[in-house]
Amino acid sequence: MSEYFNKVKNYLLDLEYRIVSEDVNEELVVIEKEEDGISNIVIDCEDSIVIIEGLLFEMSSGSEEIYKSLLKKNREIVHGAFTLDETGNRVIFRDTLQLENLDLNELEGTLNSLKLLLSEYSEELIEFSKA
């Protein structure tokens, strides 16, 4: 287990996130903070970066308008972005940060960005999930 993995875990605990599951060999944890609307967010330490990723919603069929709206919203997101999985039907929040110089404020910034996104854009995300 790397020193970075322990550092990330300690930061998450300092920020009062609950570690739902952990894979020490893969150096990843799944976190939640239900009062902030955050659940099943994967934090994965990979070589020199930490990947923060979580499924936001699934669509049975996307549309050009939905994709346009998500891309426009990406411009407003302070940290992280909307991404699609390989199928193009799962919308994911994703951010990557450098592990070597990672500090508590950077990780908190990404998670706060997700929290803000979920609180401000939740109605649209719910509508998109019905597509």
- Check: pTM over 0.85? Answer yes or no: yes
d(CA 64, CA 124): 15
Task: Write the CATH number for 76.
Answer: 3.30.1460.10
Query: Nearest to residue 96, comparing CAs of 117, 118, 79?
Result: 79
Measured CA angle at 106 (ends 102, 109), to 5 deg:
160
Residue 86 φ then ψ, to 5°:
-60, -30
pLDDT digits (tens, 9 = 90+) for 54-100: 999 988 776 888 889 999 999 999 999 999 999 888 999 999 999 99
d(CA 59, CA 83): 13
Residue range of the domain that includes 121: 3-129
Query: Nearest to residue 30, comparing CAs of 51, 49, 4?
Result: 51
What's the mean pLDDT when you consider all of the chain?
92
Written in H, E and C, the secondary structure of 84-125 is ECCCCCEEEEEEEEECCCCCHHHHHHHHHHHHHHHHHHHHHH
What confidence score (pLDDT) does residue 103 get?
Answer: 96
Total number of domains constituting the chain:
1
Structure-block tokens of residue 8: 């990330």
